Amino acid sequence: MPSGFRPNLLIHAFTHYSLGIVQRQGLRNTVISYLGLALGFVSTTLVLPRFFEPGQLGVTTTLASVATLLAQVAAFGFASVGIRFFPYFRNRENGHYGFLPFLLGVPLLSFVVMAALFWLGKPVLLGFYETEVAALGPYYAWGIVFALFTLLYSLLDAYLKALYHTAFSSFLQDILLRLLILGGALLFAQGLLSFHGYVLWFIGVNGLLVLLLTGYLLRIGELHWRPRRAVLAVRPVRELFSMGAFTLLSSLSGSIIMYIDTLMVGSQVSLAAAGIYAIAFNISTALAIPARSLNKIAFPLLANYWKEQNLVGMADFYRRTTRLNALIGCLLALGIGLNLPFIYSLMRAEYAQGTLVVLLLLGSRLFDGITGLNGLILVTSPRYRFDLVFNVSLSVLIVGLNLLLIPRLGMVGAAVAAVAAQVSINLARTWFVWRSFRMQPFTWQIPLILLITAAAGMAGWLMPTLASPLLTMLLRSTVTTAVYGGLALATGAAPEAVALLQKLRRR
């Protein structure tokens, strides 16, 4: 060892450098995420439904869902494997032992098999869309290309995350992709693109993102494309594939939960119904934004609670975050539900058929938020494998209920299935956390918040409908917020808000 070498100083310097990268990238990602959320809402909820008929959006939504599912199966969980095991391979001077070719090679071989099966199964798969073959058939092969772009992007994105370079890929996915899709929609609206041309544009911009990520890797000097046999000796290959299989089941069940209802509405009702359902689904996702933001903060905190074995502190955090999710979620649900006429007035008239779907999906998402952090507590706990059991059960339950309800109720049946499945699994997961760790998320404020929500909702609903949908929206929103906020502060349903108000008064 060289004279004067001090490993502790070296470790401290590397840790300090890594934390600096994480902080800078985290700040950029936060800004990009919120800009992307706003842009995504404007794009998918307000702009695209103005330019495209429901059946046309049904085509693009179906292609995107199929491409995502096909890519996830082919990836075999290697995106998560790359993030999880890359620290063992990290060696820039040695090209990380050929980790990138290995990360790409195995999923690409799997993709060849999956693409062949997908192509050979064309008569069977299109048979599910027997009334829509003319609309989907021309894009069947393009679905394979779309899936390839989706697969490559997910793998390169995972590689960049492992390298602590996350901001650029977030910018591409959350900002640039949405702007390019908006650009294609504007070209279609101006008559410069046919619908067929727009679909190819929609697929092609995803390929452009892959090229940009590759160029970024080249620029930062991390495009180590040369394969090396040494990659097979760093960690046991069996361990990598075992982790990949576990992750595949988890991610695939998550994708089924996200996409299967739209696919099944398209096949059992129509592509137009799938397009209407997709827009209703997008409107309801606004309710999930606060919970997602809170979960990003909660995840490392819960992991630290488990490390310290501070179950009392975790139980208190569990109840506080549940109350906060309920407080914000109920107000947002009221805002969206009461103002659906205004939201739908910005679109083609046909999309208003999804009003009941939005209300049902809002109920599903609200219950998911009110039941708190049960999923994160479970996934960070020593019994984390049970989270996979719940996710797989949820995906199976959704598929089963969709098969039962969509033929009877159409797209409303898919929404009812989503509500029933989410409520059932969340109740089971909440019970499991209580049974295993003696923690439950409910306090006396939760039923009080629900009563306040009902009172504020009634006050907003009783407001008269004005000549302008915009003025009606502003009137209802003002009255609802005033009643909700006033009752929440007066009854003590929001102790954190009361403390903040008192602090502001003192200042």
Q: What is the pLDDT of residue 21?
A: 44
What are the domain boundaries of the chain? 18-268, 269-444
Interatomic CA distance for residues 333 and 314, integer angstroms: 27
Q: How far is CA 449 from CA 324, 358, 444, 455, in A?
A: 10, 21, 9, 10
Q: What is the pLDDT of residue 175?
A: 86
Question: Cβ(325)–Cβ(370) under 8 Å?
Answer: yes
Interatomic CA distance for residues 324 and 122, integer angstroms: 48
Interatomic CA distance for residues 159 and 285, integer angstroms: 28
CB atoms under 10 Å from CB of 10, counted, come to 10
CA proximity to 448, closest of 404, 406, 484, 501 = 484
- Quote the pTM value: 0.81
Interatomic CA distance for residues 115 and 117, integer angstroms: 5
Interatomic CA distance for residues 24 and 213, integer angstroms: 19
Tell me the two tokens of residue 474.
Answer: 């502003």
Secondary structure tally for the chain: helices H, strands E: 24, 0
Q: What is the mean pLDDT of each run of 10 residues along the chain (507 residues)?
A: 41 41 51 73 81 90 89 77 66 66 81 91 84 82 92 85 75 87 92 92 93 88 69 61 66 74 87 90 81 68 77 84 85 89 87 92 87 78 79 86 91 91 88 86 85 90 85 90 86 69 64
Question: Cβ(361)–Cβ(278) under 8 Å?
Answer: no
Q: What is the pLDDT of residue 19?
A: 40
Task: Count Cβ neighbours within 10 Å for each residue of 210-235 and write b for 16 or more, e otherwise.
Answer: bebbeebbeeeebbbeeebeebeebe
CA proximity to 149, closest of 185, 200, 100 = 200
Q: How far is CA 84 from CA 77, 78, 235, 377, 470, in A?
A: 11, 9, 12, 20, 49
Say which DSSP state 286 is in.
G
Q: What is the pLDDT of residue 243?
A: 62
Question: Cβ(29)–Cβ(109) under 8 Å?
Answer: no
Say which DSSP state 12 is in.
H
CA angle 248, 251, 256 (to 5 degrees): 115
